[in-house]
């Protein structure tokens, strides 16, 4: 499927997701405030770590292997069976750890031992979360964009309904519980849609672990593990530093500005996942890779730049509509935050090649290095400039990342040319 067609179909899901996120954002802003918003950010990062450890870290590998072995269904099934068996075992182990550390996690992340029960909900929901992630990874690898779009639309609407209702009735606690159970609820609708496809049967998911498939997924598992740990832990360290030095509300302002970036960048980031990653897995020639990179840059960069300009011009209006007047101090973060968004997407177009080409060692090194540099730059610049230091660090960090990605991709293309000669 072409980049434009994929983006148009995916755009439908993104429109629904953005609309749902906007409404939900307003609900949370009203019922939990800036301080509660910071706590939700910490909890979401913790959930992403646990879900990844519970098997989500092999999802990218499942997508890549499914797309790469498009002409070998037996190989695809071996990958799926290995991934689901691994994920179920990992989710049970991760769930046990979460239950054991629930009180400590509640004090550290939520600043309240009384909320430890939300981690019980998280532990119970982990197997369903892992299964849903794997089904979506298979769908993505099969390039079943229609199912992927519908699944995401249903997920967005359910998020709005479940999180909105629980936040309305039980405030911050209800919102935290909803964030854990919603992905598990979505599993049912995803499974029903996938089960109707000719290429899928339940027996294709259950079988013994295949050593070849396990080796194939192990590299992506390592990349997924590093990404699952470094990204949310980086945000958690930065947010904790802000809470300690500037207060919980300041951390909430930064979390809110970050959420705006996530919302308007959805079209680009989901297109990269749905179209670009499976496409990279198919490419064998350097010239073909270069053409694909240029095509993606021509498509995504104008969208990101236009979006950033519109967000900047309407920043005061957006803050009042999406949040409340309590969040107005975040307006000073917009220039650096939006510039960082543009630079980040530019670097990600090249960074995705590391995933598509299974450049495990390089991926691990760069993820760790630039996570450490983001934390270090944030701590340094917050000391010098206050809260605006975080988006400043964000832009500077991704600028350096883009330069490094350009160098690494050029080397990879030279290797591809040598192999094809």
Taking CB atoms within 8 Å and a gap of at least 24, the contacts of 75-78 are 75/213, 76/141, 77/204, 77/207, 78/207, 78/210, 78/212, 78/213
Is 253 part of a structural domain of the chain? yes
Is 4 part of a structural domain of the chain? no
Residues 129-164: tens digit of each pLDDT:
888 888 888 877 777 767 777 777 887 788 888 888
The stretch 97-121 carries a mean pLDDT of: 84
Q: Do residues 143 and 199 make contact, with C-beta atoms less than 8 angstroms apart?
A: no
What confidence tier does 383 reach under pLDDT thresholds 50, 70, 90? very high
Is 265 part of a structural domain of the chain? yes
Residues 184-193: tens digit of each pLDDT:
777 777 777 7
Residues 226-236: tens digit of each pLDDT:
777 788 889 88
> Cα separation of 334 and 101, whole Å?
37
Is 2 part of a structural domain of the chain? no
> DSSP 3-state assignment of 112?
coil
Q: Do residues 199 and 73 make contact, with C-beta atoms less than 8 angstroms apart?
A: yes
Is 409 part of a structural domain of the chain? yes
What confidence tier does 382 reach under pLDDT thresholds 50, 70, 90? very high
> Is residue 370 pLDDT above 60, yes or no?
yes
Please list, in sequence order, all residues whose beta carbon lies within 8 angstroms of the beta carbon of residue 5, skipping any fewer than 6 positions away. Answer: none
The stretch 298-314 carries a mean pLDDT of: 91
> Is residue 4 pLDDT above 70, yes or no?
no
Residues 31-50: tens digit of each pLDDT:
777 777 778 877 877 887 77
Q: What is the enclosing helix (H) or strand (E) of 354?
A: helix 334-356
Is 176 part of a structural domain of the chain? yes
> Is residue 111 pLDDT above 70, yes or no?
yes
Is 136 part of a structural domain of the chain? yes
pLDDT value at residue 207: 66
Token pair listed for 401: 């990342």
Q: What is the enclosing helix (H) or strand (E) of 325?
A: none
> Is residue 420 pLDDT above 70, yes or no?
no
The stretch 393-399 carries a mean pLDDT of: 95
Please list, in sequence order, all residues whose beta carbon lies within 8 angstroms of the beta carbon of residue 378, skipping any fewer than 6 positions away. Answer: 238, 241, 389, 390, 393, 394
What confidence tier does 238 reach under pLDDT thresholds 50, 70, 90? very high
Residues 319-341: tens digit of each pLDDT:
888 887 888 889 999 999 999 99
Is 226 part of a structural domain of the chain? yes
Count of domains for the chain: 1
User: Which residues constitute the domain of residue 18?
Assistant: 12-420
pTM: 0.69
pLDDT value at residue 5: 59
């Amino acid at each position: 499927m072409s980049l434009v067609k994929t983006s148009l179909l995916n755009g439908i899901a993104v429109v629904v997701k953005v609309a749902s996120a906007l409404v939900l954002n307003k609900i949370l802003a009203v019922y939990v405030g800036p301080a509660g918003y910071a706590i939700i950010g910490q909890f979401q990062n913790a959930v992403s770590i646990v879900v990844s450890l519970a098997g989500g870290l092999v999802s990218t590998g499942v997508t890549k292997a499914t797309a790469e072995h498009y002409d070998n269904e037996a190989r695809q099934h071996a990958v799926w069976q290995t991934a689901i068996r691994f994920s179920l075992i990992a989710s049970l182990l991760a769930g046990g750890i979460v239950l054991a550390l629930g009180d400590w996690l509640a004090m550290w992340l939520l600043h309240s031992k009384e909320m430890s029960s939300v981690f019980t909900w998280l532990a119970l929901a982990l197997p369903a979360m892992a299964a849903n992630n794997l089904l979506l990874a298979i769908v993505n690898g099969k390039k079943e964009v229609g199912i992927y779009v519908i699944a995401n639309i249903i997920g967005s609407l359910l998020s709005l309904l479940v999180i909105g209702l629980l936040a309305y009735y039980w405030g911050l606690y209800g919102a935290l519980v909803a964030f854990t159970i919603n992905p598990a609820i979505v599993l049912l609708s995803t499974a029903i849609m996938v089960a109707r496809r000719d290429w899928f049967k339940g027996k294709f998911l259950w079988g013994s672990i295949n050593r070849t498939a396990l080796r194939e997924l192990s590299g992506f598992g390592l990349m997924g593990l590093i990404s699952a740990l470094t990204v949310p832990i980086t945000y958690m360290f930065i947010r904790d530093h802000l809470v300690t030095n500037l207060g919980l509300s300041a951390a909430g302002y930064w979390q809110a500005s970050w959420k705006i970036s996530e919302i308007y960048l959805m079209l680009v980031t989901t297109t990269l996942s749905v179209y670009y990653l499976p496409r990279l897995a198919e490419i064998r020639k350097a010239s073909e890779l270069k053409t694909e990179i240029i095509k993606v840059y021509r498509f995504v960069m104008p969208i990101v730049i236009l979006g950033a300009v519109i967000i900047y011009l309407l920043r005061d209006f957006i803050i009042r509509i999406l949040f409340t007047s309590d969040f107005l101090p975040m307006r000073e973060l917009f220039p650096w935050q939006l510039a960082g968004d543009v630079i980040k997407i530019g670097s990600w177009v090249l960074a995705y090649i590391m995933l598509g080409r299974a450049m495990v060692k390089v991926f691990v090194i760069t993820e760790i290095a630039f996570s450490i540099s983001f934390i270090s730059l944030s701590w340094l610049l917050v000391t010098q400039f206050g809260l605006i230091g975080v988006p400043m660090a964000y832009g500077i960090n991704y600028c350096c990342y883009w330069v490094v990605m350009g160098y690494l991709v050029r080397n990879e293309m030279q290797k591809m040319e040598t192999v094809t000669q």
